[in-house]
Amino acid sequence: MRAVVVHGPRDVRVDSLDVPAPGPGEVRVAVEWGGICGSDVSYYAHGASGTATVRHPLILGHEIAGRVAATGPGVPPDLVGVPVAVHPASPAGELPARLAGRTNLNTRVRYLGSAAFDPHTDGGFAEAVVVRADQLRPLPDGVSTRHGALAEPLAVAMHAVSRAGDVTGRDVLVNGAGPIGCLVVAALRLAGAATVTAADVADAPLATARALGATEVINLRSGGTLPSDAELVLEASGVPGALGAVLAATARGGTLVQVGNLPGTPTPAALGDLVTREITWIGSYRFADEITDAVRALATGLDLEPLIAATYDLTDAPAALDRAAAGGSGGKIMLRLG
């Protein structure tokens, strides 16, 4: 089979590998679509994502969907042919009682396409991948595998919205209109937010945010400014330099949910308003089982096609990653893998 393998910084190849065989409780999925995530871009551009460094060749990709091609012992063979999205996480060990159900906070969780542990966990940017049967999320009639591959990032957005509490009837500000920010917009409208204002520094992502439900957009590079009284803010840019302005935009006694991934190294940021405005600052990391809710949302007619900025074939994966790394695409770069 062919797979998209990162060997080091700016060294991504389409390699020929053996087709994996499913073991007990596992299935082999013929992967059809994959979405390029920021972590894939980071592994491509730097050979690392956060503190995870590529030490050995690693198959990229964790936003995937396809069809079950084979089942291992103990798995019903009638799953063959079923279209599925894949939950990319494999938690290990027990969580303390206070974290019951919050599997995303397991310190030993393995994720498809991750170099966090050695040996690495190969991902799904390949013509086939083996996963546990319980990682499958069957796609209902009417949900294509192309859109099923978006269930994973949609789950990230839905988890962030859930961290904000009940958003029904509320006015919300989303800072950062990259793919996750735009999906946060969609998830907020799905959850009943009255209005959603999206802010970014470029027109293309703001157009995507508008298409996914933003009621107002602000281009911060073209003279637009953040409000100063937003009671609920979701920060999706992950840019430390933006934190001061975002905190200043959050109303006194308001809530800020941090969904954009911040660097793990010391960085300067103006945080004074966190104290003087008594802001509740909440972190949001990946998701627990919201991918099930994401598939259900797709089945009810949530249209994420406006999020897709470009599609590349598997053989053109290096070019796709290069485009994603360049930024400015205004949406998600997809790989047609099968």
Question: Which amino acid is present at 93?
Answer: G
Q: Tell me the pLDDT tens digit for each residue of 249-261.
A: 999 999 999 999 9
For the chain, give the percent of residues with pLDDT over 70. 100
Beta carbons within 10 angstroms of residue 168's beta carbon: 9
Beta carbons within 10 angstroms of residue 4's beta carbon: 29
Which DSSP letter does residue 133 get? G
Distance from C-alpha of 122 to C-alpha of 110, rounded to nearest angstrom: 10
Sign of the four-CA dihedral 261, 267, 270, 272:
positive
Query: What pLDDT does residue 296 have?
Result: 98
Element (H, E) at 203: helix 203-211
Distance from C-alpha of 228 to C-alpha of 231, rounded to nearest angstrom: 9
User: pLDDT-derived band of residue 142, with 50, 70 and 90 as boundaries?
Assistant: very high
Query: What pLDDT does residue 50 have?
Result: 86
Q: Using CB atoms within 10 A of its CB, is residue 48 exposed (0-12), middle (13-18) or buried (19+)?
A: middle
Place of tokens 């409208």: 189
Distance spanning both ends of the chain, measured CA to CA: 10
Sign of the four-CA dihedral 38, 44, 48, 54:
positive
User: 283: which residues sit within 8 A by CB, 6+ positions away?
Assistant: 163, 257, 258
User: pLDDT-derived band of residue 94, with 50, 70 and 90 as boundaries?
Assistant: confident
Q: Tell me the pLDDT tens digit for each residue of 252-308.
A: 999 999 999 988 888 888 999 999 999 999 999 999 999 999 999 999 999 999 999
Query: What pLDDT does residue 263 have?
Result: 84
Element (H, E) at 265: none
Q: Give me 245's structure tokens.
A: 């302005």
Query: Domains in the chain, please, with CATH?
Result: 2-150+304-336 (3.90.180.10), 157-283 (3.40.50.720)
Q: Tell me the pLDDT tens digit for each residue of 169-208.
A: 999 999 999 999 999 999 999 999 999 999 999 999 999 9
For the chain, give the percent of residues with pLDDT over 90. 93
Please name which of 16, 51, 287, 236 lies closest in space to residue 128, comparing C-alpha atoms.
Answer: 16
Which DSSP letter does residue 330 get? S
Q: Is the peptide bond before 119 cis (omega within 30 degrees of 0)?
A: yes
In the sheet that 280-283 helps form, which strands lie side by side, from edge to edge? 216-219, 195-200, 171-175, 230-235, 250-258, 280-283
Distance from C-alpha of 313 to C-alpha of 70, rounded to nearest angstrom: 24
* Mean pLDDT over each residue of the chain, to the nearest integer: 96
Q: Are strands 308-313 and 332-336 parallel, antiparallel or unpaired?
A: parallel
Distance from C-alpha of 146 to C-alpha of 64, rounded to nearest angstrom: 9
Distance from C-alpha of 15 to C-alpha of 221, rounded to nearest angstrom: 41
In order, the DSSP letters of 6-45 are EEETTEEEEEE-PPP---TTEEEEEEEEEE--HHHHHHHH
Query: What pLDDT does residue 91 have?
Result: 87
Q: Tell me the pLDDT tens digit for each residue of 203-251.
A: 999 999 999 999 999 999 999 999 999 999 999 999 999 999 999 999 9
Supply the pTM of this predicted model: 0.97
User: 97: which residues sit within 8 A by CB, 6+ positions away?
Assistant: none
Q: Quick check: 34 and 124 in contact, CB under 8 A?
A: yes
Query: What pLDDT does residue 51 have?
Result: 86
